């Protein structure tokens, strides 16, 4: 992977900065249990990794047609997720030093399938917000990943051409979105095994965060 043309690094959040995928699932399950669906919710979570929460709710509503509106369901679930994030603070151990190092050399952006309320909660941990420029949420775009829209919007707000951006992702849908945007994509196998990430088009798979430094020609 050639990194001499990279000007900006765009991070995904869930599964890259914060170990939140288990919390996402647990918060959905709590709401479904409260609504009386229990194990009959009919959702296979891996099908939705890297996509927005609204996509999950659309699938749930299509199957069950609950009395609550999608907006009401989103509020119920996000309140639980925010509480879990506050209680556990599940940042990946090596990610904060990585962000600090990259911020000295590159413009940083964040493109997440989460909503702004959840993103704000995560970026408040260890003052991470200070290292990032534009923050783009699923609320800001019309199409979720694997559409490239969220990455293209982030690049535009960074004022950097897509081909000069490097995306750090952990899901198949996120990788497809980054590649469709014309960006270099580094994958971290936190959510998926390396093989599906490679098949999705990742330019490089890094087993740990220190390898991202090497890939981007940074010295510690």
Distance CA 149, CA 63 (A): 28
Task: Identify the DSSP state of 201.
Answer: T
Provide the terminal-to-terminal Cα distance of the chain, rounded to the nearest Å.
19
| Segments making up each domain of the chain, as ranges | 8-19+90-215, 21-88
Q: What is the pLDDT of residues 142-155, one digit of tens each?
A: 999 999 999 999 99
Least confident of 1-5, 120-124, 196-200: 1-5
Distance CA 51, CA 59 (A): 12
Q: What is the pLDDT of residues 79-93, one digit of tens each?
A: 999 999 999 999 999
H-helix segments, the chain:
21-34, 53-64, 70-88, 95-103, 116-123, 149-158, 172-180, 194-199, 210-215
pTM of the model: 0.90
Q: What is the pLDDT of residues 152-203, one digit of tens each?
A: 999 999 999 999 999 999 999 999 999 999 999 999 999 899 999 999 999 9
Q: How many alpha carbons fall within 13 Å on the CB side of residue 133? A: 18
Model confidence at 1: pLDDT above 80 = no
Question: CATH number for the 8-19+90-215 domain, one of 2.60.120.680, 3.40.50.2000, 3.40.50.1000, 3.30.565.10?
Answer: 3.40.50.1000
What fold does the segment set 21-88 form as a domain?
DNA polymerase; domain 1 (1.10.150)
Q: What is the pLDDT of residues 10-53, one digit of tens each?
A: 999 999 999 998 999 999 999 999 999 988 999 999 888 878 88
In the prediction, which pLDDT does 219 show? 39
| H-run or E-run covering 111 | strand 107-112
In the prediction, which pLDDT does 2 show? 57
Model confidence at 218: pLDDT above 60 = no
- Section 130-139 average pLDDT: 97
Residues involved in catalysis: 12, 14
In the prediction, which pLDDT does 206 show? 96
Distance CA 24, CA 74 (A): 12
Same fold, 8-19+90-215 and 21-88: no
Distance CA 16, CA 26 (A): 18
In the numeric block, the tokens 């995560």 are attached to 122
In the prediction, which pLDDT does 220 show? 38
- Section 111-118 average pLDDT: 94
């Amino acid at each position: 992977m050639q990194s001499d043309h990279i000007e900006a690094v765009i991070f995904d959040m869930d599964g890259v900065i914060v170990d939140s995928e288990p919390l996402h699932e647990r918060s959905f399950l709590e709401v479904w249990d409260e609504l009386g669906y229990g194990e009959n919710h009919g959702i296979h979570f891996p099908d939705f990794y890297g996509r927005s929460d609204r996509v999950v709710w659309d699938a749930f509503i299509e199957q069950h047609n609950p009395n609550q509106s999608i907006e009401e369901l989103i509020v119920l679930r996000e309140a639980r997720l925010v509480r879990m994030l506050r209680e556990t603070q599940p940042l990946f151990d090596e990610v904060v030093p990585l962000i600090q190092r990259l911020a000295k050399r590159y413009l940083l952006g964040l493109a997440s399938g989460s909503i702004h309320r959840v993103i704000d909660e995560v970026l408040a941990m260890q003052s991470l917000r200070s290292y990032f420029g534009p923050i783009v949420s699923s609320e800001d775009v019309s199409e979720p990943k694997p559409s490239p829209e969220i990455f293209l919007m982030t690049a535009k707000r960074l004022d950097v051409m897509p081909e000069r951006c490097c995306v750090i992702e952990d899901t198949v849908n996120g990788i497809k979105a980054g590649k469709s945007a014309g960006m270099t994509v580094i994958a971290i196998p936190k959510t998926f095994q390396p093989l599906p990430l490679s098949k999705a088009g990742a330019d490089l798979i890094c087993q740990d965060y220190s390898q991202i430094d090497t890939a981007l020609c940074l010295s510690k």
